[in-house]
Amino acid sequence: SFAVISDGRNYPNINKSERARKLIKRLKREQRKFSRKIQKLKQRKEETAGKKCKRSNLDKQRLKVQRAYMRLTNKRHDYINKTVHEIVSTRPEYITIEDLNVSGMLKNRHLSRAIAECEFYYFRALLERKCREYGIQLRIVDRFYASSKTCSRCGHIKKDLKLSDRVYECTECGLVMDRDYNAA
């Protein structure tokens, strides 16, 4: 999930939607075409040895790649804008978010692309700005606070919680709920 709110709302990851997947697929295709055109241009330059080659098709393909990037970025930013607006428009007294170690998370080569595509910094910056506009207090929890490991009912901290454990089960009070909702 992109964001889980304590009132039960869950905002799914936009990058897993059908439209975003199509845009990513189109971007990959356009990038492959662009790469092939560059390779062909390099081969022609070697064959002609210094003569000028036409680059108009290469420039057209570069524009197609740039447009694909722009569409994908606009789609993601639109989703983040709508999410922040929905969160802030309920006018809560305060909003609390976790300070994530994104640079450390990006070092995990299995998750790095998915984390980078979520654009957490853009989300946080927009949320800070909107909270200032609406007069809502924004609290940022320290990154070392064990919010996912702490039981929301009794406060017991579960030390052996792995990232793969998506359901939180408290050994003290018997609470069983979604891990992200428990942390929220």
Cα angle 75, 79, 83 (rounded to 5 degrees) comes to 170
Work out the mean pLDDT of the chain and round it to a whole number: 89
CA distance 100 to 3: 13
Sign of the dihedral through C-alpha 73, 74, 80, 81: positive
Q: Give the tokens for residue 29.
A: 């295709």
For the chain, give the percent of residues with pLDDT over 70.
Answer: 97
Strand runs (DSSP E) across 34-109, as ranges?
94-98
Residue 145 has pLDDT above 90, yes or no: no
| pLDDT tens figures, 27-78 | 999 999 999 999 988 888 777 766 666 788 899 999 999 999 999 999 999 9
Phi, psi of 149 (to 5 degrees): -95, -10
Residue type (1 letter), 18: E
Question: What pLDDT, on the 0 to 100 scale, is given for residue 51?
Answer: 66
Span 6-21, pLDDT tens digits: 888 889 999 999 999 9
Rounded distance between C-alpha atoms, residue 127 and residue 137, angstroms: 11
Largest CA distance in the chain: 78
Q: Collapsing DSSP states into helix, strand and coil, what is residue 106?
A: coil
